[in-house]
């Protein structure tokens, strides 16, 4: 593989997340360029390619993996495909950026990590919260001692439901909002506190609003105990009206900070006539709205992809890898189990034969646990 | 007892809460007047009496209960005294306003309620959140259908520790922050949702910062399931720096609202020189601060006491009574037990022989449960 | 006139402001009671009377003035009627609460003040900002030295146009938004700074949006220099979409504070379905809105009327009188003149023969000045 | 000059602004690289060079101008040197990025523009507000019709005084806060409204707090009328405690928006112990503070410099040039004159022989105007 020039990237996917990837590389273009995109539905990849000037288009991602010059693959496909795609990409000698959550099962996680290790490629876990500028500032202050010993970190993400239909299908997603967005909060607390071991998980969830669309939970709250004595609280919802919410709170014995990516950053705006774009999942641009600015930048996507490209070139050391994703995966298991039995689940927690995390909730509720 | 004129009130206590009572009657004086105050420590009651022009002062509250013209007693004493004082006041034919939490045990709660019933006096439970103007507005919007079916209500109250030393002593307080302030959140969610039966409680707590001062928990989070399918989340801390925090969030399938009594109401202020008063438990008035205005009014204390006096006169029906306090008490029991065993506790939950709620946490942790 | 019991009040008017008066006395009922209301349009006074249980109703306010037991009159009529009504009420021996602005001309102001003085009745100028709890807190901090020497005070009030049609008719209102709401800001800065003499006024105004409805200005900004070296900045608009805005900023050499009665106090709320009431002049209750709570209380109307009643009983000394209104009137004159000539106008500024303040703007623009 | 590769940049200056330039090129490095820095004080340029890895260091900027490969010069020197440096750089064939304000006099502005034109180099005016992401979003919404016809734009910038001593010396700065920061607001309103001709300026200013340090004004407010009927209001202060403030407000007949770069973007934070850095000019990091994140990015400096480098390569057309700076300069003249005479000044306003803008204020106040 070429050791110089910009990293050549191929994207698997053509929807919401794939567009975020393409746009991120466009915003910070100096380290990487998207040269190919693959998506099975005819026309989808073409559309993305056209919008971003991506020269090569594939309906079969395996053919894209055969392209010699492509060095890095980003996976923006449904969760149940992550493992297979990662493994095939690694076998093809490509570095892999895998969207969150890492996969469906711990066995998959192990195999993804092992294959990448064996093939000498990077397994980069796309948790953008590690790059979210406002959250990075909070972490920097914490690391500088602003809050003394931190005993509680909270992250919350809420909106009124996902952008693509496969999220509602737990066989493809592996779970509901806890799987989809709780994975962010789990990763966040773990990282913020300096990657202490997870001791236990206590979780509550339910399907409150979207029971007609999904068997998955649409609202969840998880309390995570770490070995350093701190706790994380992770709140997520697909049942919150009015657009996106993404917030953190940090409590230490010596201080506290709050960061809000939406209401706490936006331009409070009233418009009789509407305008182009307010924010992800905003229901309208008329009346009062909370438009954000530089949305992707303020989540940290371009910085994340830029970092990953630099890792491929050996200029930086990965800040977030498959190992982080595996920790998240175990907490997802424990969380679903905890919600099902109504009790704390201690880690390590590696039940074998799980097909998807949410099954642990289903099984426990049905008394088969 | 006199049926006309302003209700004559006697206050038991002379510290923080007693002053709130006296000040509340001063702010809205048309329905009641404080005519007596009782406090055992010599000088304390005198000081309060002097500041508020209260004519009669007692060191023994029993002597105050003997005053014929006093119609209503307010109890602002440590938690472990609530039951005895309430019962004695009721036996003396006085209406009783009892500060939160209602008492130490469910047996006490039963006896308080029964004695007041038998004696034909009101047992008014001083949960001021039912009168907090901003929260009342949230409830009114909910009741008007603004949010459709509400599936989640949150209340959080945090500061860096209580104002009086007896709170640190669990034998007098009955528990830590969950007992002291969680009782607010429990009562709030219950009321906000229309008093549905409580199904279960899942609770996590710990002593993170003040372990040198207390055996009680200084940070807690409780998840309460109600029979109508909604949940309440109650967060409390004695370990939050920077002054008071009191907030709610309401989520329905059709909307959401947020109310913050401090940062969301205050005057963001910078002062080089400082000034008189910012807010309860604020560490300083220099630098940036969040001063509130009409602090008691914005909590609802004067409105609460005004309402209670009107109830005594039969002009209004009590909005909050000992029965509410008993529901809270049971949830406190369940919460401490849940935190101790790391599992959900279903209601009804009436273990006999409990001496104080926090014992349920201690016992479970020590494996004696 | 009776020296005891609650002060008996008669209201002139039956619209928006009259309702605020009635509601204010209802909220704090211990010092006064509304016993009569007068309004010329048949049915209007009845409606208000019915809503608030006001026993006596008049179509001719002069007949109401003949009622012996009425001690205080509140005037909630169009501006051009203030002087005549005040004088007649004073001649009838009634204390007068006059809504802002005080009147149309300085000659009227003089006569109002002189008549009330001669007849021994109070002329109470209804500037509620002197009672607005949040602003009172800002002033208290300033008076406590929080900001050191204050060199700049700003007040701003904005919405999308007045509630009654007579405001658009400058012959009845005397001017546009600067007259209607600028009078608040002028009074506020003057009071906040401790009533220093006004040195000069520099003003800019225009009719930007509502030129089809009115000859009056719908947006204005005034810079007021005081003899103590401080300045006031007063911004007003009838052309601001999205509901009410009322804010202050205070700058001293030692600090700064901000107070916002709407966005800075409200419950940020999203509703699919709408609800009862958000805030004065809000266009809708659907989508995102900024509902306020205890709206009148947070402006200070009940406290203001309560204070006025106590002044009538000699329990308090008036905090705001016709003299304040006359100072405001002179600044209004100077402001309209300044806007017309595009230059600072120094005080004293008492041109004779002015019929209404806005004429000074018209005249100067037309070169007749 | 080379037409390929990254643009080679030389910075004149080594203090606050020079560091912003160096850091900006570091943040977005793909289009330009800083290869040289010049500063007369021995050691200063070295320090900056060391921190940013800048290979060439000069004490005489003229020697830097002689370097053949340098294509673009950025000027971060006191205002009175801008013209001379720009002209010399242009004569040396370098593109020029000149910090705000453009220069001291309109004659200088003319000569700078003419020299650059004649020599075929770009004169890029470093007004970063045209690149401030949050403000760019406001402008985009306005351009999309969100607010209908915009009739009022406000920009305000305030802190407690400049970072370098030369600002206090009006002979080097040309004026006080209106010159230093008012230039931002003038440029902003002009740009936001689509560069309509300026009709008139009405300005008020004073030296309220820092009279011991400077003859310059430390607080100013300017009202600018544009030919399209809209107005701009520009408020600036060197007398605002508590750190930086930079805000805009936009009012149209169909809507309104607010953007705040500090309180409206920061992480409200309390720290007992302090931490690394809060925000430009913050007095402390202890107690409550308003730390910002990605400070330069959120002002738009890296994006601005990136754009300028692309302009040099012909990839983009300059969004802000010396012509904008000249418009600002004329408004500065008119503003100082207006403040001095207490009256509106109409444009065009090109008095000859002015040595520095603030002289127009001094002269008018002294009656020599």
Rounded distance, CA A188 to CA A199, Å? 16
Rounded distance, CA C294 to CA B137, Å? 8
Q: In angstroms, what separates the C-alpha of B211 from chain D's closest C-alpha?
A: 19
Collapsing DSSP to helix, strand or coil, B133 comes out as: helix
Rounded distance, CA B292 to CA C133, Å? 10
Q: In angstroms, what separates the C-alpha of B135 from chain D's closest C-alpha?
A: 23
Rounded distance, CA D220 to CA D207, Å? 9
Q: In angstroms, what separates the C-alpha of D340 from chain B's closest C-alpha?
A: 32
pLDDT digits (tens, 9 = 90+) for B21-48: 999 999 999 999 999 999 998 899 999 9
List the single residue in B with minimal CA-CA distance to C271: B255
- Beta strand A72-75 pairing with A7-12: parallel
Cβ(B190)–Cβ(B232) below 8 Å: yes
Residue B368 has pLDDT above 70, yes or no: no
Residue C234: name the closest of C267, C192, C295 by CA.
Answer: C192
List the single residue in B with minimal CA-CA distance to A345: B342
Angle made by CA atoms B298, B300, B306, in degrees to the nearest 5: 135
Chain D from 252 to 281: CB within 8 A of any B CB: 263, 268, 270-272
- Residues on chain D touching A259 (C-beta within 8 angstroms): 267
Residue C265 has pLDDT above 90, yes or no: yes
Q: Is C256's CB within 8 Å of D242's CB?
A: yes
pLDDT at position A2: 47
Q: Is A147's CB within 8 Å of D271's CB?
A: yes
Picking from C220, C343, C365 by the largest number of D CB atoms within 10 A of its own CB, the best residue to mutate is C343
Percentage, residues of chain D above pLDDT 90: 95
User: DSSP string covering D200-247, please?
Assistant: EEEEEEE--S-TTT-SS-SEEEEEEEETTS-EEEEEEES---SS-EEE
Residue C207: name the closest of C240, C176, C173, C251 by CA.
Answer: C176
Cβ(B52)–Cβ(B22) below 8 Å: yes
Q: Is C133's CB within 8 Å of B293's CB?
A: yes
List the single residue in D with minimal CA-CA distance to A141: D275
Residue C369 has pLDDT above 70, yes or no: no
Q: Does D288 touch chain B (CB under 8 A)?
A: yes
Cβ(A9)–Cβ(A48) below 8 Å: no
Residue B356 has pLDDT above 70, yes or no: yes
Q: In angstroms, what separates the C-alpha of A228 from chain B's closest C-alpha?
A: 11
When pLDDT is averaged across residues C330-340 and rounded to a whole number, the result is: 98
Rounded distance, CA A360 to CA B69, Å? 65
Residue D118 has pLDDT above 80, yes or no: yes
Cβ(B60)–Cβ(B41) below 8 Å: no
Residue A360 has pLDDT above 70, yes or no: yes
Question: Which of C134, C147, C271 has its CB closest to that of B255?
Answer: C271
List the single residue in B with minimal CA-CA distance to D286: B287
Collapsing DSSP to helix, strand or coil, A286 comes out as: coil
Q: Is D268's CB within 8 Å of A257's CB?
A: yes
Residue D2 pLDDT grade (very low, low, confident, very high; cuts 50, 70, 90): very low
Rounded distance, CA A51 to CA D19, Å? 37
pLDDT at position A282: 87
Residue A23 has pLDDT above 60, yes or no: yes
pLDDT at position A369: 47
Rounded distance, CA D111 to CA D116, Å? 8
Residues of A292-323 as b/e, b for ≥16 C-beta within 10 angstroms?
A: bbbbbbbbbbbbbbbbbbbbbbeeeebbbbbe
Cβ(B98)–Cβ(B78) below 8 Å: no
- Residues on chain B touching D272 (C-beta within 8 angstroms): 241
Rounded distance, CA B74 to CA B34, Å? 10
How many CB pairs (< 8 A) connect B and C? 116
Residue A321 has pLDDT above 50, yes or no: yes
pLDDT digits (tens, 9 = 90+) for A210-259: 999 999 999 999 999 999 999 999 999 999 999 999 999 999 999 999 99
pLDDT at position C281: 85
Q: Is D146's CB within 8 Å of A273's CB?
A: yes
Question: Which of C223, C239, C254 has its CB closest to that of D241?
Answer: C254
Residue A368 pLDDT grade (very low, low, confident, very high; cuts 50, 70, 90): low
The CA-atom distances, in angstroms, between A123 and each of A72, A110, A358, B2 are: 10, 12, 25, 81
- Mean pLDDT, chain C, integer: 96
Chains in contact with B, where contact means 3 or more Cβ–Cβ distances below 8 Å, are A, C, D
pLDDT digits (tens, 9 = 90+) for C46-104: 999 999 999 999 999 999 999 999 999 999 999 999 999 999 999 999 999 999 999 99
Question: Which of C152, C204, C344 has its CB closest to that of D219?
Answer: C152
The set of residues, in sequence order, having a beta carbon less than 8 Å from that of C122 and lying 6+ positions away, is C95, C96, C116, C308, C311, C312, C318, C321
Chains in contact with C, where contact means 3 or more Cβ–Cβ distances below 8 Å, are A, B, D
Q: Is D209's CB within 8 Å of C241's CB?
A: no
Rounded distance, CA D94 to CA A64, Å? 46
Q: Is C255's CB within 8 Å of B268's CB?
A: no
pLDDT at position D248: 98
Q: How far is CA B264 from the centre of its chain?
A: 22
Question: Which of C263, C268, C284 has its CB closest to that of A287?
Answer: C284
Angle made by CA atoms D151, D154, D160, in degrees to the nearest 5: 170
- Mean pLDDT, chain D, integer: 96
pLDDT digits (tens, 9 = 90+) for C206-253: 999 999 999 999 999 999 999 999 999 999 999 999 999 999 999 999
| pTM, entire model | 0.96
Residue A40 has pLDDT above 80, yes or no: yes
Question: Which of B200, B240, B341 has its CB closest to that of A256?
Answer: B240
Residue D1 has pLDDT above 90, yes or no: no
Q: How many CB atoms lie under 10 A from the CB of residue C100?
A: 23
Residue D368 has pLDDT above 70, yes or no: no
User: DSSP string covering B37-87, please?
Assistant: EE-SSTTHHHHHHHHHT--EEESSHHHHHT-TT--EEEE-S-GGGHHHHHH
The CA-atom distances, in angstroms, between A222 and each of A155, A186, B222 are: 10, 9, 11
Q: Is B255's CB within 8 Å of A239's CB?
A: no
List the single residue in D with minimal CA-CA distance to C224: D204
The set of residues, in sequence order, having a beta carbon less than 8 Å from that of C68 and lying 6+ positions away, is none
- Mean pLDDT, chain A, integer: 96
Question: Which of C263, C270, C283 has its CB closest to that of A268?
Answer: C263
pLDDT at position D369: 47
Q: Does D241 touch chain C (CB under 8 A)?
A: yes
Angle made by CA atoms B75, B76, B79, in degrees to the nearest 5: 90
pLDDT at position C225: 98
When pLDDT is averaged across residues D326-354 and rounded to a whole number, the result is: 97
Q: Is B255's CB within 8 Å of A233's CB?
A: no
Percentage, residues of chain C above pLDDT 70: 99
Q: Is A344's CB within 8 Å of B344's CB?
A: no
- Residues on chain B touching A231 (C-beta within 8 angstroms): 204, 206
Residues of D202-224 as b/e, b for ≥16 C-beta within 10 angstroms?
A: bbbbbbbbbeeebbbbbbbbbbb
Rounded distance, CA D369 to CA D366, Å? 8
Q: Does D4 touch chain A (CB under 8 A)?
A: no
- Residues on chain B touching D290 (C-beta within 8 angstroms): 288
Rounded distance, CA A352 to CA A340, Å? 17
- Residues on chain A touching C271 (C-beta within 8 angstroms): 241
Q: Does C201 touch chain D (CB under 8 A)?
A: no
Peptide bond into A348 cis (omega under 30): yes
Rounded distance, CA C249 to CA C233, Å? 9
pLDDT digits (tens, 9 = 90+) for D288-317: 999 999 999 999 999 999 999 999 999 999
Question: Which of B133, B275, B292 has its CB closest to that of C293?
Answer: B133
pLDDT digits (tens, 9 = 90+) for D32-56: 999 999 999 889 999 999 999 999 9
When pLDDT is averaged across residues D177-203 and rounded to a whole number, the result is: 98
Rounded distance, CA B231 to CA B250, Å? 11
């Amino acid at each position: 593989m070429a050791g110089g020039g910009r990293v050549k990237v191929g994207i698997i996917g053509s929807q919401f997340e794939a567009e975020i990837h393409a746009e991120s590389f466009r915003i910070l273009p100096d380290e990487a360029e998207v040269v190919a995109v693959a998506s099975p539905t005819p026309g989808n990849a073409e559309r993305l390619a056209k919008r971003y000037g991506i020269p090569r288009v594939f309906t079969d991602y395996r053919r894209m993996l055969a392209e010699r010059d492509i060095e890095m693959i980003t996976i923006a496909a449904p969760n149940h495909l992550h493992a297979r795609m990662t493994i095939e990409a690694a076998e093809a000698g490509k570095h892999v950026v895998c969207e969150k959550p890492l996969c469906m099962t711990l066995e998959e996680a192990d195999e993804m990590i092992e294959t990448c290790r064996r093939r000498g490629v990077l397994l980069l876990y796309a948790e953008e919260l590690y790059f979210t500028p406002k959250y990075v500032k909070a972490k920097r202050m914490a690391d500088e001692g602003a809050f003394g010993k931190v005993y509680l970190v909270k992250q919350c993400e809420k909106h009124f439901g996902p952008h693509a239909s496969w999220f509602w299908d737990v066989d493809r997603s592996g779970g509901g909002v806890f799987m989809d967005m709780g994975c962010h909060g789990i990763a966040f607390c773990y990282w913020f506190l300096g990657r202490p071991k997870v001791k236990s998980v206590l979780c509550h969830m339910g399907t409150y609003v979207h029971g007609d669309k999904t068997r998955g939970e649409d609202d969840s709250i998880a309390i995570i105990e770490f070995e350093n004595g701190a706790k994380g609280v992770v709140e997520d919802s697909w049942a919150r009206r009015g657009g996106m919410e993404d917030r953190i709170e940090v409590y230490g014995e010596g201080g506290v900070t709050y960061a809000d990516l939406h209401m706490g950053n936006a331009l409070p705006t009233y418009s009789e006539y509407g305008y182009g774009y307010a924010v992800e999942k905003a229901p309208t641009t008329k009346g009062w709205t909370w438009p954000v600015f530089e949305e992707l930048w303020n989540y940290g996507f371009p910085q994340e992809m830029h970092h990953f490209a630099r890792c491929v070139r050996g200029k930086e050391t990965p800040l977030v890898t498959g190992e982080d994703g595996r920790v998240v995966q175990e907490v997802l298991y424990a969380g679903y189990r905890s919600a099902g039995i109504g009790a704390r689940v201690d880690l390590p927690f590696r039940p074998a034969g799980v097909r998807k995390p949410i099954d642990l909730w289903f099984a426990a509720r049905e008394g088969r646990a």
